[in-house]
Amino acid sequence: MKLLLLLGLVALAQCLGPRVPLRRGKSLRQVLKEHGLLERYLKQHPYNPASKYYHASVSAEPLQNYMDNEYFGTISIGTPPQEFTVIFDTGSSNLWVPSVYCSSLACSNHNRFNPADSSTFVSTNESVSIAYGTGSMTGILGYDTVTVAAIDVLNQIFGLAETEPGDFFYYSPFDGILGLAFPSISSSGATPVFDNMMSEGLVAKDLFSVYLSRDGSKGSFVLFGGIDPSYTTNGITWIPLSAETYWQISMDSVSVSGETVACLYGCQAIVDTGTSLLAVPNSALGNLLSALGASSNGAISCSAVNMLPDVVFQINGNAFSVPPSAYVIEMDGSCILAFQGMNIPTESGELWILGDVFIREYYVIFNRANNMVGLSPLP
């Protein structure tokens, strides 16, 4: 069973109560494309990352920042293309979307793939089942053309969801998930999208990079095949992977105000764009919250936020800081720390998950050529 944590929705649901599902409509990209205006729009909007990389070997997919909680972009599947919004998730490896065969409530308010409408779809008799930290799906596998950031990936295997139990995906503002982790954790042995991009020579370099904006602002993107030098002016620190499963690395320690409060003897972490918060082993969470002066449930006085110290992650001999402006969530006059306790055992110990709260502080490069993660501090 693979694990993907999409914890932010759970945290927000607890604070805000039930949410009204987003109305599903055509994306801006689709409307412009139908009117023959897409290419001109991209040229006229230089701050849209897709306009800077609108060619085959280096291409960016703009991401929508949904309340600093999830980041999703638009892909298409089939001929003619059927559009879907997906989470670009470095914590899993499968691509799947809802299908017309799905009878779950979660599929009723999301776009659904219809294989009968695609002239390039190839069916299989293989099934797929994926359980995430929150939510799950079962379905069948098929092959079709998948277009991501103007890159056409032919004969890409993907999941057509037939069940999405529970209500987690019902309230999600995205349709499906596009996994960007390694083939070793792919359910049913399905080849990940980026692996096909590499093997078919569709990207200039065997890497992709991610920028996540803050405060709900625009500009987030996944850049396939390249590194944007305008985001690396503070230099890049390269960290070797400790396992080729998730984007897993070794951490030396976690400190607050110069004192080690967790990961005392080293630990493992993954850099995961599909996790909203910072996931901490339960055994370490209490010490971390105590060092920051928070209650056992993570609540803290908003008046104390300006006096809070950075949380420093020592990784591969380098310090990576996360300031209180990043790890404190304020809602309606109440403040809570963006740390979530959860135990995820591996052969090398329990995992920490460096989710979007961490990633927003850095431009992150996921390098498959030499199996490293690159971190460049953002201004």
Domains of the chain from N-terminus onward: 7-227 (2.40.70.10), 232-377 (2.40.70.10)
For the stretch 147-165, pLDDT in tens is 999 999 999 999 999 999 9
pLDDT digits (tens, 9 = 90+) for 75-112: 999 999 999 999 999 999 999 999 999 999 999 999 99
Res 288: pLDDT: 97
Question: How much is the pLDDT for 376?
Answer: 98
How far apart CA 106 and CA 138 sit, in angstroms, is 13
Active-site choice (68, 144, 272, 356): 272
117 is catalytic: no
The residue annotated as part of the active site, out of 89, 175, 228, 252, is 89
What's the pLDDT tens digit per position in 107-150? 999 999 999 999 999 999 999 999 887 789 999 999 999 999 99
Give pLDDT tens digits for 20-66. Answer: 222 233 344 444 455 455 555 445 443 344 444 444 478 999 999 99
| For residue 185, pLDDT beyond 70 | yes
Does the pLDDT value for residue 330 go beyond 80?
yes
With b meaning 16 or more CB within 10 Å and e meaning fewer, what string describes 279-308?
A: bbbeebbebbbebbebeeebebeeeeeeeb
Is the Cβ–Cβ distance between 361 and 322 less than 8 Å?
A: yes
The answer to whether residues 182 and 246 touch, using CB atoms and an 8 Å cutoff, is yes
- pLDDT of 2 over the 60 cut: no
| pLDDT in the model for residue 135 | 85
- Of all residues in the chain, the percent with pLDDT exceeding 90 is 78
Q: What is the pLDDT of residue 90?
A: 98
- pLDDT score recorded for residue 34: 54
Rg of the chain over all Cα atoms, to the nearest angstrom: 20
The predicted structure's pLDDT at residue 33 = 56
Average of per-residue pLDDT values in the chain: 87
Residue 206's nearest CA partner among 194, 219, 191 is 194
175 catalytic residue (yes or no): no
When pLDDT is cut at 50, 70 and 90, the band that residue 9 belongs to is very low
312 or 58: whose pLDDT is higher?
312
Start-to-end C-alpha separation, the chain: 38
Task: Please give the pLDDT value at position 36.
Answer: 55
